[in-house]
Structure 1
Amino acid sequence: MDVFQHINHARMVTLLEEARIPWLLTPDRPTAALGAGAVVVDMHVRYRGQLRHSDGPLTVDMWVDRLRSADWTIGYEVRARDANIATPPAVTATIQLAAFDIDTQRLRRLTAAERDYLQHYVRS
């Protein structure tokens, strides 16, 4: 908690990352290779309500907001523990990621398997 008695911004960004990593990088998923090369391109976090440590563990809902050939954007909604999905989220965020080839230091296209996996999470 920060001096204003709510979860600190840097910690919130870390919580979003901690939700994203197992979803994308579990070894048996087609997106596991992204662990060797994916970069954050853009991030927007909007605070709509206060969250305190006593609200945890927090619920983080994620989906693919946009999917393109080399990048995708993840949408997030963060709510207090046990909050109904109809409850407005306390935090909304979008994070754009891009597939990246570490060896060449260049963006790469998503593989067909990566795209297919991510496509299942596109919110219409």
Structure 2
Amino acid sequence: MEIALIAHDKKKDDMIRFVTAYQDIFAQHRLYATGTTGKRINEETNLPVIRFQSGPYGGDQEIGALIANNKLDMVIFFRDPLTAQPHEPDVTALIRLCDVYSVPLATNMGTAEVLVRGLEKGDLQWRSIIRGETRHE
């Protein structure tokens, strides 16, 4: 599965703790992230991460383009709802794209845990069908 990981500045530590807690699961998938989030995940877990620009510099839009081209299966985006973001329209567009293309999206740790546990059990295999892949067993 192709998973995007994004965290606003005040949520980056939470993202690192979360990815560390589920590192064995994330290690089985391809990870994408915006700039600093991806750098920190890689440095602190040694998981390979395909990195894009930081969110305010277009990273959210780059992730959105993957969603629009049906190349992402899940987005975990730890948003900071209490701090105004200069790139809020990009954040809103990213969330809208997840809804348009039925890409599972978690914006907090509770929902992210449900998604990752489902990923572990194979509950998200339907994404492979949507992407036109066939599963060989």
Give TM-score, length-normalised by structure 2: 0.27
Instruction: Please identify which structure carries the higher strand content.
Output: 1
Instruction: Please identify which structure carries the higher helix content.
Output: 2
Give TM-score, length-normalised by structure 1: 0.29
Larger radius of gyration: 1
